[in-house]
């Protein structure tokens, strides 16, 4: 009886260890989560969904010329209203981590058009951005962009 009890206990410990390892392996690595967040924000812009885009922006966001979160939100809304279509193509992202923060540098080409008589507008940008992991979700807290 003691041998069967030991085997059962050993099997339970092994099963628990496997379950813990499986959960640990199931966690998405920080860089992958960050790249996914960047892709989701890109998709939100292309879908002209300002609200979804802003979900990835931290409350204390700061950008070019002292732009805060509210000003960024107005800028995104203005682009959505002004353009019947929005296209965003991102270049390769250079991601550097510093603890629960990351900096991401990338290029972007944006296109948009009114769908009327105005030709498509296009712009190329170099972007440096700061990201912070807030409870498992990466949020944009800083961005600097320059036209190329």
The pLDDT tens digits of the residues spanning 88-98 come to 999 999 999 99
Q: Determine the pLDDT at residue 27.
A: 80
Q: Determine the pLDDT at residue 3.
A: 58
- What share of the chain has pLDDT > 70, as a percent? 76
Handedness of CA 145, 120, 75, 32 (dihedral sign): negative
Q: Could you tell me the pTM of the whole model?
A: 0.77
Q: Which residues lie closer than 8 Å to 110 by C-beta, 6 or more apart?
A: 86, 87, 88, 89, 121, 122, 123, 125
Mean pLDDT across 63-90: 93
pLDDT tens for 13-32 read 444 544 444 444 458 899 99
Q: Determine the pLDDT at residue 17.
A: 45
Which residue has tokens 């809304």? 77
Higher-confidence residue of 25 and 99: namely 99
């Amino acid at each position: 009886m003691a041998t069967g009890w030991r085997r059962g206990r050993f099997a339970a410990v092994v099963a628990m260890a496997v379950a813990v390892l499986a959960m640990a392996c199931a966690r998405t690595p920080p860089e992958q989560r960050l790249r996914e967040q960047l892709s989701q924000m890109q998709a939100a812009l292309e879908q002209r969904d300002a609200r979804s885009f802003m979900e990835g922006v931290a409350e204390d966001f700061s950008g070019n010329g002292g732009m805060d979160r509210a000003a960024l939100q107005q800028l995104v809304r203005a682009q959505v209203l002004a353009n019947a279509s929005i296209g965003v193509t991102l270049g390769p992202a250079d991601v550097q981590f510093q603890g629960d923060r990351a900096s991401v540098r990338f290029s972007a080409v944006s296109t948009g058009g009114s769908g009327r008589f105005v030709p498509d507008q296009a712009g190329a940008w170099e972007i440096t951005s700061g990201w912070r992991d807030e409870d498992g979700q990466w949020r944009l807290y800083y961005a600097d962009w320059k036209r190329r």
